[in-house]
Amino acid sequence: MIKIEVDMDTCQSYGQCVFEAEDVFQLDDKGKLQYTKEVPDDRLADIESATDVCPMQAISFTVS
């Protein structure tokens, strides 16, 4: 499993991660980022891409 963490104090909800993995990262009705905290290992490429495009570098993950 991939465990995802977003530093919500750093995140500015630009939503770039949503374009890389829209089923994992979403913006709610108020424009605030919501995300799934654990995803299967086969999503690694998408999570790496979402992490890379975050302008605030607020996303981190671990693979267990």
Convert the pLDDT of each residue in 38-63 to its tens digit.
Answer: 999 999 999 999 999 999 999 999 99
Structure tokens at 2: 């991939």
- pLDDT value of position 37: 98
The structural domains of the chain, ordered by start, are 2-63 (3.30.70.20)
DSSP character at residue 50: H
Q: How many residues does the chain have?
A: 64
pTM, whole model, 2 decimals?
Answer: 0.93
Q: Number of H helices and number of E strands within the chain?
A: 2, 5
